[in-house]
Amino acid sequence: MKLNWPFGPKITRLSSQVSVTGQISADDVAAIAEQGFRSIVNNRPDNESARQPTSDDIENAAKELGLAYEHIPVVSGAMTEQNLDDFMAACERLEGPILMFCRSGARCTMLWELSRLKSATEFPESDSS
């Protein structure tokens, strides 16, 4: 499901609790909260491009409105296992619904898809005694 924000980017719903979008700004956070999101995950490294809002600015706006905020920077084209583990831990910890963002939403979507694949293929620890 794609929702159009009145101020620009599209929100793509990946599940009942997780949605993705492209770059947001601190000014967008109030509208995000009004849409019912309780947490924001930023997957974009600071200073990736000129005129990009800083993670701190968006985090401050989120916290002022009572939203949880996580910054899990993922370098485009260089996602790591640690990025995936950090993302999965954040999803377990954060209150939903969660809005994830990066430049275009592609990294966020990839993290989500990989997390679903990883959680489906992990096996419980076995007792070898």
- The residue-averaged pLDDT of 17-42 equals 94
Q: Give me the sheet containing 39-42, strands edge to edge.
A: 2-4, 10-13, 18-21, 98-101, 39-42, 68-71
Task: Report pTM.
Answer: 0.84
Where do the domains of the chain lie?
A: 2-119
DSSP state of 27: G
pLDDT band at 99 (very low <50, low <70, confident <90, very high): very high
How is domain 2-119 classified at the CATH fold level? Answer: Protein-Tyrosine Phosphatase; Chain A (3.90.190)
User: What percent of the chain is modeled with pLDDT above 90?
Assistant: 64
Q: What's the CA gap between 49 and 53, in Å, rounded?
A: 9
Tokens matching residue 84: 């995936």
